[in-house]
Amino acid sequence: TAKEMGRNTYQYYEPDLTASAFDRLRLENDLRAAVRRGELLVHYQPQIQLSTGRLAGVEALVRWQHPEQGLLAPGCFISVAEEMGIIDEIGVWVLRAACVQMMDWDASGLSVPRVAVNLSAQQLGRDSLVGQVSDILEETGLAPARLELELTESMIMQRADRAIDALRGLRALGIAIAVDDFGTGYSSLGYIRQLPLNRLKIDASFVQDLDAAEDGGMIARAIIGLGKSLGLEVIAEGVEREAQNAFLRREGCDIGQGYLYGRPMPAADLCASWGSSPAG
Ligand code: C2E
Ligand code: MG
Ligand code: MG
Ligand code: MG
């Protein structure tokens, strides 16, 4: 058939594309098995209260311990999982793991005030989301006020009609909502104002700018001001240098997250760096 011919032609003329299609198929198969085989794990990155230097919380960031390729960052597999329609399974797994970890830290005497977990667009679109989150909180015993879910502006705007109901449902459970990568999406400020949010996360690209040019801090400063007028806390992402930290503190940004304060790390390492009295 023409289709088969097309495929043969494709294979003949595009060996690299064929190879990558094969790799992709293998990645899909591996990923489908990864959850079942227990190859996923979660690293935790500290979020620091800038006025005190204390631990405000952690962000849970998924990793995949691939049997051959080693530790993979979410950039290598999250979008594939979304396309495969298995992101819900991964998302629920991460959420449960993060809640269990909080209870483990409690038991070991390390007080981590809050854990933030990233949601995918597909999860936000599911009617089952609020019930799932509620079940996990109940199962694990984590106080809802200690859980935050992160969503991006584009996820919210993509499903503007449903998002507001989903967010209200989540807030009604007592959990917090943060807007991730804020400033990079196209969102209507009028709409943002109506949403039941708790925090804005300034995207790392605007934090990068802080020490680049004279007016580099303009966007970060504007987001901090916006947060203040909306009554939201502001978290800066991707803080790597002391000059950025100083700028953010001076401008009244509430929380910092970035390599300057700590990289994403295994749960046990967080105990080692934050187990005894926190700095500041
Ligand atoms: P994000 O939620 O914006 O997470 C912040 C990313 O910036 C993380 O990358 C983190 O390791 C990195 N980062 C933190 N501080 C610094 C810094 O100072 N400098 C630099 N250059 N990078 C920094 P990571 O862990 O590779 O995660 C990438 C993205 O994958 C996340 O972006 C998030 O959108 C997504 N993701 C991670 N875990 C999950 C998950 O469980 N579910 C879903 N749906 N998405 C996830
Ligand atoms: Mg995030
Ligand atoms: Mg982000
Ligand atoms: Mg991001």
Does ligand 1 come within 6 angstroms of the Cβ of 78? yes
How many CB atoms sit inside 10 A of residue 22's CB? Answer: 10
DSSP category for residue 232:
-
Which segments in the chain show pLDDT lower than 50? 1-15, 277-280
Residue 176 parent element (H or E)? strand 176-182
Alpha carbon distance 31, 15 (integer Å)? 24
pLDDT of 278:
47
pLDDT of 20:
81
Instruction: Answer whether 57's CB lies under 8 Å from 274's CB.
Output: no
Alpha carbon distance 173, 169 (integer Å)? 7
pLDDT of 212:
64
| The token pair that represents 191 in the structure block | 């709409």
pTM confidence score: 0.91
Q: Which among 42, 48, 61, 82 is the best mutation to test ligand 1's pocket, defined by most ligand atoms within 8 Å of the CB? A: 61
Instruction: Answer whether 151's CB lies under 8 Å from 119's CB.
Output: yes
Residue 2 parent element (H or E)? helix 2-13
Does ligand 1 come within 6 angstroms of the Cβ of 91? yes
pLDDT of 38:
94
Alpha carbon distance 145, 166 (integer Å)? 17
Does ligand 1 come within 6 angstroms of the Cβ of 71? no
pLDDT of 12:
42
Q: Residues 167-194: pLDDT tens digits?
A: 999 999 999 999 999 998 877 888 888 8
CA 27, distance to chain mean position in Å, is: 22
